[in-house]
Structure 1
């Protein structure tokens, strides 16, 4: 039986119009993922564990915020010296790294509401006779580069004073104190207390009235109001539902 050439042309078109498409077998997630920068050299706030993943108080906090706000995060270990520039360039969306909120930083980035209160401490050998900050003049002092500890010590001695020994991380400065390479370390209380509690009992800490209280904030790129609002809303929520308090107690004990 012969079929006309016209029918041969029309038949495939008819079949293609009547064929039902099979439903897709996969559904792709549309959840947002933000890159989080942190300097993982600041236990117990952020540090690398044995498998090189980042853990700590800050990491648990930002994960809880992400869960509450409904977005995903990828935490990337980022050296402190490049942390802020990575945010400005867009290579990082969020920074959480025990970052003190101050007027200079607020000029170039936006901060969440504070999530942690801190103060500087001085770590010293037990035999040290230093009783206040100004008595550190003439001593070798360890600080982490670019931190508040660096700023206050630079204010006391002068930024280029040879007695200021700068390190990439506060734990490195504290280890140098243990080794006898510096006479004191000035850094945030949470880091100093954690290091001394887990490494040595041969040192003491003193506070000084000149050290003002500081507040840590979560940073986003200047003008990113949408993301900042998500973070602030979720931060408020985890404080209300008790999640924040559980994380705090895990690392620092109950308030």
Structure 2
């Protein structure tokens, strides 16, 4: 009898193991009962930043947490430098990226994006006394940007990628501090980050936009081909937009949403 019972136990164990292995590695099915690791560069307030005790917070964080609640996902947020963010996703060390990442054709070749969750545009921050009125007047100026961002890309097109007048920083707040100290003549960065910095650090700055700056849209990224996880994220995003959760979070960080 014991031999029969032992055989049944072994059979059930083998069957269980076989079923688990049928779930494709890297899909949300194989990760449903464990934490999904979310990479975010927590130096981009108000979208993501770190508290004194190293807790990651911000608009992106709250939005993804709300999505996870709707979709039954368990998340672990890990502060990840921007320069290594995308490679961490490719290697599988991160399952999801949320970090004010602009959706563009180049990035879509190597990762999949959710539906857009935020509309942004570039702003130019300048000393209040500056006579600059448009972007191409910065051709002979020192421009501060965050490395690898849209601000870096548009400034590189204007001045040339290797131009020493482009001063690259790990974070936009560092670039804005350099503007305050007189080390650069202007900073080009996303409107949400620039406006947040100026609201919390009243300085003698002004901001201007430019007709050459296109609207851009942020998306949540997953590894290329992880359609099941992407669907859960999109379904959750749709749900929080429908029930008013998205608008409530937006208001906390940016005021009333303009439609």
**What is the TM-score normalised by the length of structure 1?**
0.88
The corresponding residue for 1:144 is: 146
CA distance in 2, matches of 1:31, 1:253: 36
Alignment of 1:243-254 (within 5 A): 243-254=245-256
Q: Which of residues 187, 212, 216 is equivalent to 2:189?
A: 187
Alignment of 1:44-63 (within 5 A): 44-63=46-65
CA distance in 2, matches of 1:50, 1:220: 29
Q: How far has the Cα of 1:201 moved from its partner?
A: 3.2
Q: How far has the Cα of 1:137 moved from its partner?
A: 1.0
Alignment of 1:85-234 (within 5 A): 85-234=87-236
Alignment of 1:232-247 (within 5 A): 232-247=234-249
**What is the TM-score normalised by the length of structure 2?**
0.87
CA distance in 1, matches of 2:45, 2:88: 22
Q: State the secondary structure of the residue aligned to 1:97.
A: coil
The corresponding residue for 2:23 is: none
Structure whose alpha-carbon radius of gyration is higher:
1
CA distance in 2, matches of 1:204, 1:98: 23
State whether structure 2 residue 73 is matched by structure 1 residue 71: yes
Instruction: Give the number of equivalent residue pairs.
Output: 230
Per-residue Cα deviation, 1:124-183 (whole angstroms, up to 9, x for no partner): 000000000000011110000000000000000000001000000111101111111111
The corresponding residue for 2:14 is: none
Structure 1 runs of 4+ aligned residues shifted over 3 Å read none
Q: How far has the Cα of 1:82 moved from its partner?
A: 0.1
Q: State the secondary structure of the residue aligned to 2:198.
A: helix
- Cα RMSD between the aligned structures? 1.5
CA distance in 2, matches of 1:131, 1:47: 31
Per-residue Cα deviation, 1:29-60 (whole angstroms, up to 9, x for no partner): x7342000000000000001111111000000
Where in structure 1 are there 5+ consecutive unaligned residues? 1-12, 14-29
CA distance in 2, matches of 1:38, 1:172: 18
CA distance in 2, matches of 1:118, 1:190: 7
Q: State the secondary structure of the residue aligned to 1:192.
A: helix
Alignment of 1:33-44 (within 5 A): 33-44=35-46
CA distance in 1, matches of 2:241, 2:93: 29
The corresponding residue for 2:22 is: none
CA distance in 2, matches of 1:31, 1:202: 51
Where in structure 2 are there 5+ consecutive unaligned residues? 3-31
CA distance in 2, matches of 1:248, 1:241: 13
